[in-house]
Amino acid sequence: MKKIISYSWLAIVALFMYVPVLILAFYSFTDSTTIGTVREFSLRNYVTLFTTEELRDMIVGTLLLAIGAALIASVLGTVGAIGAFYSRQGVRAAVETANQVPVVNADVVTAFSICILLIVVFGIEKNTFIPLVIGHVVLCAPFVYLAVMPRLRQMDSGLYEAALDLGATPFQALYKIVIPQIIPGIISGFMLSVTLSLDDYFISTYTKPATFDTISTYVVNATRGAQTEIKTALWALSTVIFLVVILVVVLMNVASSGPAKRQEVNAYDSREKD
Amino acid sequence: MMNIRFSRKQLCIPYALFLICFVVLPLAVIVYYAFTDGSGRFTLENLLSFFSNGNTIGTLCYSLVIAAVVTAVCLLVAYPVAYVLARSGLKRGPVILMLFILPMWINFTLRVTALKEILTVLEGNLSLHPFLNTVIAMTYDYLPFMILPLYTTLLQLDESLLEAASDLGAGPAAVFFRVTLPLSMPGIVSGITMTFLPAMTNYVILDMIYNSTYIMGSLIGSYFNIYDWNNGSMISLILFAVICIVTLITGRGDRNNAENRGAIL
């Protein structure tokens, strides 16, 4: 009885989370323009999604921005974490505090402050994409830093010293000894950055060029004055993203099952304890 | 020639500069704008007008209420989910957890669009129930952020403590309220910080479901639209202060946040 109640709660919550997305997915394969009116099977929305130049530009732009910002953030955050890890306590504490600011701050506030600094004070044109990219890097880099730091703490510090003793230059030791040990942290920081950037609305609205749209800003604008054709094409976009996410999750589960998985769990446990 | 020795510490410099330029400096600039008027003279006008204006104070209170209700609903919905996933010995617990986390990776504007379509079918006119719809939409959006930290804390709960409590004569309810619940506080706290703060500021969700009421974030948005940097900065500063206070009260919550967001991957 207890089991039935608890499992049905899981089911109810799962339904709440999935029903809207699934219903939208269902209707994206029909030619109906409102939910509730079933018409016929049609791939029209998908054709619109992939052939309308505006939509294609928007999707490609969002992806390029996410990957670009995540790459910059990964390099900056990783290098910063390594540097801070070996720095004096005071320096590290200062970096850590500043690093926390974008993490806890509301995205609107981060976006507004960056917009004021770069666009109002420095007068950088939005059209240069510089404020947009910087904004996204500010959003992502602190999370890379936080993903890499625990890996540095778990690292065997003797190996770096040993490499130096055996004649490696500090740079070689860093590149060949430190980086390989923290690579899982860098990868998860990068992935997290991509998802943060893809999901961002506020930084983009406040810093983007008027002619450029990310998925978030585009969808929000579309809900305001929607052409029906665009609106239903966005249903198709939502479905495509949903399928891609499922695919990625399944692939990651397959890739990390087996012995690697156990290591992951141990690493996570020890991270929690300190 | 001078031999400049490469030091690992120096690697900190680019990131420290980056943080100074794009994190510290923007904050300094909004402090400056918040306490000056359009012509750059020092003034407390922006601060005073925030606290003397019924609308802005009302907005602050409304945001706090919305955020508190959304957080409470998320907690009440998510706790049983996390508890069952972590404690009931489900064989495929982690996989089912994935099911509850996965929607987080779909762009939130698209998810809210989906929810909006469903709510429109159910309710007809969305603007009739602005408060209810806001709570539903935000709960829908933030639920994964609440489930995950609760799950990780509950998973690490020491089973022997629960057994000890019931051996010593505590009933199931007493075990839950006096052992399980206090021990899951870290997860609760980090879940609260991850939903409460966004719920105060994410005005796009309100916009999308045709809610014309204002929360704190909307104020920044409306000042941004009319290029009023000074008042916008003051609101940002006040929000930042609220965020700092919440973060200080909840203590280490912030670090958990990041780790939780990171741990998902």
A99 at B interface, C-beta within 8 A: yes
**How far B162 CA sits from the closest chain A CA (Å)?**
18
A50-108 confidence digits (pLDDT tens): 888 889 999 999 999 999 999 999 999 999 999 999 888 888 999 999 999 999 888 99
Residue A105, chain B, CB below 8 Å: the answer is: yes
Domains and CATH numbers, chain A: 54-231 (1.10.3720.10)
What are the pLDDT digits (tens) for A10-42? 999 999 999 999 998 998 898 887 777 777 888
Domains and CATH numbers, chain B: 54-263 (1.10.3720.10)
Reported confidence tier of residue B252, pLDDT bands at 50, 70, 90: low
pLDDT in tens, B170-216: 888 888 888 888 888 888 988 888 888 889 888 889 888 877 778 88
State residue A235 phi and psi, 5-degree precision.
-60, -40
> How high is the mean pLDDT of chain B?
85
- CB contact (8 A) between residue B254 and residue A24: no
Chain-chain contact of B220 with A109 (C-beta, under 8 angstroms): yes
Token pair belonging to B30: 């909004």
State phi, psi for A30 to the nearest 5 degrees. -115, 175
| Joined tokens for residue B164 | 């000890």
Identify which has the larger pLDDT, B9 or B265.
Answer: B9
The CA distance from B182 to B176, in Å, is: 9
Report the chain A residue with the minimal C-alpha distance to residue B218. A108
Q: How far is A68 from chain B (nearest CA, A)?
A: 17
Q: What pLDDT, on a 0 to 100 scale, did the predictor assign at position B265?
A: 41
Per-residue H/E/C for B136-193: HHHHHHHHHHHHHHHHHHHHCCCHHHHHHHHHCCCCHHHHHHHHHHHHCHHHHHHHHH
3-state SS, residue A41: strand
Q: With 80 as the cut, is the pLDDT of residue A179 above it? A: yes
CA distance B168 to chain A (A): 23
Residue A242: Cβ-neighbour burial (10 angstroms; 0-12, 13-18, 19+): buried
pLDDT tier at A183 (50, 70, 90 boundaries)?
Answer: very high
In chain B, residues with a C-beta closer than 8 Å to the C-beta of A84 are 12, 15
Nearest to B156 by CA among B197, B186, B189: B186
- pLDDT at residue number A269: 44
| Nearest chain A residue (CA) to B153 | A272
Contact status of A164 with chain B (Cβ, < 8 Å): no
B10 vs A83: CB contact, 8 Å cut-off? yes
Position B24 scores a pLDDT of 94
In this prediction, the answer to ipTM > 0.90 reads no
Report the distance separating Cα B10 and Cα A26, nearest Å.
55
Residue B122, pLDDT score: 86
Report CB contact under 8 Å: A199, B239.
no
Residue range A214-264, pLDDT digits in tens: 999 999 888 876 677 788 888 899 999 999 999 988 888 787 765 444 444
From residue A6, give the alpha-carbon distance in Å to each of A15, B149, B159, B242: 14, 19, 19, 37
Pairs of residues, one from chain A and one from chain B, whose beta carbons lie less than 8 Å apart: 271
Any idea which of A180-184, B73-77, B92-96 has the lowest mean pLDDT?
B92-96
Which residues, in sequence order, are CB contacts of A33 under 8 Å at separation 6+?
A228, A231, A232
Task: Report the pLDDT value the prediction gives residue B4, as an integer from 0 to 100.
Answer: 52
Identify the closest residue of chain B to A267 by CA–CA distance: B263
Residue A168: helix, strand or coil by DSSP? coil
Minimum distance, in Å, between the CA of residue B196 and any CA atom of chain A: 11
By residue count, chain A amounts to: 274
Q: Measured between beta carbons, which residues in chain A are less than 8 angstroms from residue B194? A: none
- The answer to whether B228 and A116 are in contact (CB under 8 A) is no
Q: How far is A205 from chain B (nearest CA, A)?
A: 10
SS3 assignment, position A185: helix
Nearest residue in chain A measured CA to CA from B230: A116
Q: Does A84 contact B at CB distance below 8 Å?
A: yes
Cβ within 8 Å, pair B114-A241: no
CB atoms B110 and A219 under 8 Å: yes
Nearest CA of chain A to the CA of B40: how many Å? 12
Query: Cβ of B8 and A7 within 8 Å?
Result: no
How much is the pTM?
A: 0.86
Given a contact cutoff of 8 angstroms between Cβ atoms, the answer to whether B27 and A101 are in contact is: yes
Those residues whose C-beta lies under 8 Å from the C-beta of residue B44, and which sit 6 or more positions away, are B35
* Chain A hits for B262, Cβ within 8 Å: 143, 146-147, 188-189, 192
> What would the mean pLDDT of A119-138 be, rounded to a whole number?
92
Q: Which residues of A touch B96 (CB under 8 A)?
A: 10
Neighbours of A89 (CB within 10 A): 7
Average the pLDDT over B218-243 and give the result. Answer: 88
Residue A171 — very low, low, confident or very high, per pLDDT cuts 50/70/90?
confident
SS3 A129: coil
Question: Could you write out the DSSP letters of every residue in chain B?
Answer: ---PPP-GGGGHHHHHHHHIIIIIHHHHHHHHHHTB-TTS-B-SHHHHHHHH-HHHHHHHHHHHHHHHHHHHHHHHHHHHHHHHHHHS--TTHHHHHHHHHGGGGS-HHHHHHHHHHHHHHHHS-GGGSHHHHHHHHHHHHHHHHHHHHHHHHHHT--HHHHHHHHHTT--HHHHIIIIIHHHTHHHHHHHHHHHHHHHHH-HHHHHHTT-----HHHHHHHHHHTT-HHHHHHHHHHHHHHHHHHHHHHTTHHHHHHHHHHHT-
Using CB atoms, which residue from B11, B83, B96 is nearest to A83? B11
Does residue B261 have a pLDDT over 70?
A: no
Backbone phi, psi, residue B125, to 5°: -100, 115
